[in-house]
């Protein structure tokens, strides 16, 4: 019955109306689901960011606490009497021992007032047998036991730097339960030889660490401090022996300084945020159950359902009114818009009426016609502009190259014989024929290397034994084509700015080889170099104009020419260090003819 009514007897308007409602209900249903998920993710993100800010504040407090530990350690480490006690021969109840204990008590009294928040235990162990400690344990700490620990050699090799230890230390660890103290250990050394003479150990109880974050905990929230996967402080005793390295998400915590994510932990989904404590590299990690964060999400879900129902009703009314008048012509016009958006500017939409839809269709056709004409004009303008820019850059290279070469010949008139100068002029003539007289900018790599060799012949005559050149060119690149005159400016830059300021013998190595579908040239000199921070940034593709001129042409000119021809993935890179020379790498595509470039 429905099939007969809907297929045969129903009007097109009713068919369109029912189809429109189906198309609206499904997207709006998806919209409601997506809105719910977005709201959920937004709340989770806000809570996670809040947790991250709280962890950042705790991290700052931890850094200040560790600064206090360092200051307290310095009080004993830098004390002259303590260091004397580490080296003097000490016998029980001797005057020297009494004097050292008196100084220790004085420093301890001062520290109690200065660092009351730490509640530390302080232990001084000398290699000469001196033992001073405020540790309340019955077991007396021994330097011999310390020397057997894995961390001892690390501490002595640190030459006074503090080593933070979170493992129990024999003779100092708390008995009766798992010790979760933190120890700041540093080796005291002789001034002349840095040989170790004793240890200064500050013990901080885990309760001091717990005070850093105890006031920041919300209901059902956990905060822990982790060192290399081991939990060193937690408000939950059940986590005392946990190792986070067994968790799949630990890699995220270990690799990054801070962040947040959602993962399964403690039997439920948790918002996990983490922050690194700067002075030690320890990780602060907070766990917040998602069920507590999303407790009010049902209210948002109710609002979404109500909005969905209202939109469906409004859509039904609007669709019923507009179906016959708008649906079909707008759909046709929308389809034509899509074809234009895809790049088809030959499309023309047929006009079936003179109403608003018909007028809109006429305007659409006029717009496409004008758009097509405008795009053709822009395309022609861009092609002309690109050719003009390439010609401008080419014209900058040749005068600069010719000026420096003639300057070199003028210098040689005072230093070399007539025959030598004559051979240099012959080499210059060859260069002019190769680089200036030929109009074709695209030449084989082998011809580009001939230009470079003629130029280097002139420079070697001018420099004499002070300039050595080595070529490491693979033969499989010689037949490929390249832009003319791109290697000579790089070599010229290496000679005048790298080797000549060196005022000594210099070497230039020129390499050429294939890498995947690209040709790489390297110009390496052992000149004066420059600091990496002083290396000028190279412009992006199309940044032509005053940039190249303001930096003297040369390297930047070549870089811009390459990018104009081949795109921004090609060009010149520069690596340099003071008194370590400079390496310039030039990358171009490997091609035999111009048509190959269009396929890149």
Higher pLDDT, 202 or 91: 202
User: Is the same domain home to 347 and 495?
Assistant: no
545 pLDDT higher than 50: no
| Domain assignment of residue 19, yes or no | no
Share of the chain above pLDDT 70, in %: 79
For 281, the token pair is 């590299």
590 confidence band (pLDDT: 50, 70, 90): very high
Nearest CA-CA partner of 392 in 220, 246, 546: 546
Q: Which of 374, 393, 423 is the last residue of a domain?
A: 374
573 pairs with which residues across the strands? Answer: 585
Mean pLDDT of 228-233: 88
| Domain assignment of residue 444, yes or no | yes
For 446, the token pair is 């082998």
53 confidence band (pLDDT: 50, 70, 90): very high
Distance (Å) of CA 245 to CA 226, 235, 286: 10, 20, 16
User: Is the same domain home to 391 and 528?
Assistant: yes
- Phi, psi dihedral angles at 198 (to 5 degrees): 180, 175
Nearest CA-CA partner of 564 in 388, 376, 370, 365: 388
Which of 8-12, 129-133, 276-280, 547-551 is least confident?
A: 547-551
User: Is the same domain home to 366 and 429?
Assistant: no
Higher pLDDT, 235 or 325: 235
Q: Which of 317, 352, 374 is the last residue of a domain?
A: 374
Distance (Å) of CA 340 to CA 19, 108, 255, 377, 379: 26, 83, 47, 18, 17
| Domain assignment of residue 244, yes or no | no
User: Is the same domain home to 510 and 401?
Assistant: yes
| Domain assignment of residue 437, yes or no | yes
Nearest CA-CA partner of 87 in 195, 163, 161, 160: 195
Residue 19 belongs to what H/E stretch?
helix 12-77
430 pLDDT higher than 90: no
Q: Which of 182, 209, 236 is the last residue of a domain?
A: 209
User: Is the same domain home to 552 and 522?
Assistant: yes
How many helical (H) and strand (E) elements, i.e. helices and strands, does the chain have? 17, 17
Residue 191 has a pLDDT of 75
| Domain assignment of residue 273, yes or no | no
Which of 263-272, 372-381, 440-449 is least confident?
A: 372-381
Torsion of CA 451, 456, 458, 463, to 10 degrees: 170
User: pLDDT digit string (tens) for 405-419?
Assistant: 677 777 777 776 777
Whichever domain contains 117, its CATH number is 3.30.450.20
15 pLDDT higher than 70: no
| Domain assignment of residue 229, yes or no | no
Residue 60 has a pLDDT of 92
| Domain assignment of residue 404, yes or no | yes
User: Is the same domain home to 480 and 577?
Assistant: yes
User: pLDDT digit string (tens) for 469-503?
Assistant: 999 999 999 999 998 888 988 998 898 888 888 88
Residue 521 has a pLDDT of 96
User: Is the same domain home to 399 and 366?
Assistant: no
533 confidence band (pLDDT: 50, 70, 90): low
Cα separation, 236 vs 310, in Å, equals 49
For residue 196, what are the domain limits? 78-209
- SS3 category, 551: coil
525 confidence band (pLDDT: 50, 70, 90): very high
Residue 11 has a pLDDT of 54
Residue 314 has a pLDDT of 78
Nearest CA-CA partner of 252 in 285, 280, 224, 222: 285
Residue 541 has a pLDDT of 45
User: Is the same domain home to 358 and 395?
Assistant: no
Cα separation, 515 vs 143, in Å, equals 60
Q: What is the DSSP string of 172-230?
A: TSPSSS----EEEEEEEE-TTT--EEEEEEEEE-HHHHHHHHGGG--TT-EEEEEETTE
| Domain assignment of residue 89, yes or no | yes
Are 236 and 222 in contact, with CB atoms under 8 Å apart? yes
Nearest CA-CA partner of 588 in 387, 445, 428, 476: 445
In sequence order, which residues have a C-beta less than 8 Å from that of residue 126 and are 6 or more positions away? 85, 86, 87, 90, 143, 197, 198
Residue 272 has a pLDDT of 92
Whichever domain contains 418, its CATH number is 3.30.565.10
Give, as one character, the DSSP assignment of residue 600.
-
User: Is the same domain home to 348 and 481?
Assistant: no
User: pLDDT digit string (tens) for 314-357?
Assistant: 777 776 666 666 666 767 777 777 777 777 777 777 777 767 77
Domain count, the chain: 3
Reduced DSSP (H G I as helix, E B as strand, rest coil) percent helix, strand, coil of the chain, to 5 = 55, 20, 25
Compute the mean pLDDT over every residue in the chain, rounded to the nearest whole number: 79
User: Is the same domain home to 359 and 505?
Assistant: no
User: Is the same domain home to 343 and 427?
Assistant: no
User: Is the same domain home to 369 and 479?
Assistant: no
445 confidence band (pLDDT: 50, 70, 90): very high
8 confidence band (pLDDT: 50, 70, 90): low
């Amino acid at each position: 019955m429905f099939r007969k009514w809907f297929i045969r007897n129903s009007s097109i308007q009713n068919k369109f109306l029912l189809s429109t409602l189906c198309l609206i209900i499904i997207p709006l249903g998806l919209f409601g689901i997506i809105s719910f998920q977005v709201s959920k993710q937004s709340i989770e993100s806000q809570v996670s960011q809040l947790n991250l800010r709280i962890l950042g504040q705790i991290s700052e407090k931890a850094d200040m606490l560790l600064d206090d530990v360092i200051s307290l350690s310095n009080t004993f480490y830098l004390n002259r009497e303590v260091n004397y006690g580490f080296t003097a021969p000490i016998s029980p109840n001797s005057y020297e021992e009494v004097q050292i204990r008196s100084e220790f008590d004085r420093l301890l009294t001062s520290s109690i007032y200065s660092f009351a928040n730490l509640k530390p235990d302080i232990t001084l162990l000398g290699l000469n047998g001196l033992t001073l400690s405020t540790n309340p344990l019955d077991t007396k700490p021994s330097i011999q036991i310390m020397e057997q620990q894995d961390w001892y050699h690390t501490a002595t090799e640190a030459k006074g730097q503090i080593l933070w230890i979170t493992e129990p230390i024999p003779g100092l660890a708390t008995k009766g339960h798992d010790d979760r103290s933190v120890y700041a250990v540093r080796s005291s050394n002789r001034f002349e030889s840095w040989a170790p003479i004793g240890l200064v150990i500050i013990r901080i109880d885990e309760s001091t660490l717990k005070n850093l974050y105890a006031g920041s905990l919300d209901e059902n929230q956990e905060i822990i401090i982790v060192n290399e996967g081991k939990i060193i402080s937690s408000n939950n005793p059940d986590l005392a022996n946990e190792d986070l390295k067994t968790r799949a998400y630990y890699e995220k915590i270990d690799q990054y300084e801070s962040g947040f994510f959602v993962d399964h932990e403690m039997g439920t989904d948790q918002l996990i945020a983490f922050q690194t404590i700067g002075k030690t590299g320890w990780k602060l990690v907070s766990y917040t159950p998602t069920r507590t964060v999303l407790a009010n999400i049902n209210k948002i879900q109710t609002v979404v359902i109500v909005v969905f129902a209202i939109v469906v009703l409004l859509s039904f009314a609007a669709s019923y009114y507009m179906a016959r008048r708008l649906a079909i012509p707008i759909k046709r016009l929308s389809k034509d818009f899509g074809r234009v958006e895809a790049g088809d500017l030959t499309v023309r939409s047929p006009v079936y009426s003179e109403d608003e839809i018909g007028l809109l269709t006429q305007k659409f056709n006029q717009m496409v016609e004008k758009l097509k004409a405008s795009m053709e004009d822009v395309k022609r303008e861009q092609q002309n502009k690109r050719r003009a820019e390439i010609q401008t850059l080419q014209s900058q290279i040749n005068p600069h190259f010719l000026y420096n070469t003639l300057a070199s010949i003028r210098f040689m008139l005072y230093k070399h014989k007539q025959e030598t100068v004559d051979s240099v002029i012959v080499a210059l003539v060859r260069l002019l024929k190769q680089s200036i007289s030929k109009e074709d900018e695209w030449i084989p790599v082998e011809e580009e290397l001939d230009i470079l060799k003629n130029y280097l012949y002139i420079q070697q005559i001018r420099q004499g034994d002070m300039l050595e050149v080595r070529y490491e060119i693979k033969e499989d690149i010689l037949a490929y084509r390249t832009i003319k005159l791109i290697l000579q400016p790089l070599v010229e830059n290496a000679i005048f700015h790298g080797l000549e300021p060196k005022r000594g013998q210099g070497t230039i190595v020129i390499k050429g080889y294939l890498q995947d579908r690209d040709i790489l040239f390297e110009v390496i000199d052992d000149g004066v170099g420059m600091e990496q921070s002083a290396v000028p940034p190279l412009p992006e593709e199309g940044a032509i104009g005053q940039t190249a001129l303001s930096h003297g042409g040369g390297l930047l000119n070549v870089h811009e020419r390459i990018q104009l021809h081949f795109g921004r993935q090609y060009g010149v890179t520069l690596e340099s260090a003071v008194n370590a020379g400079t390496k310039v790498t030039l990358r171009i595509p490997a091609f035999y003819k111009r048509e190959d470039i269009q396929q890149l």
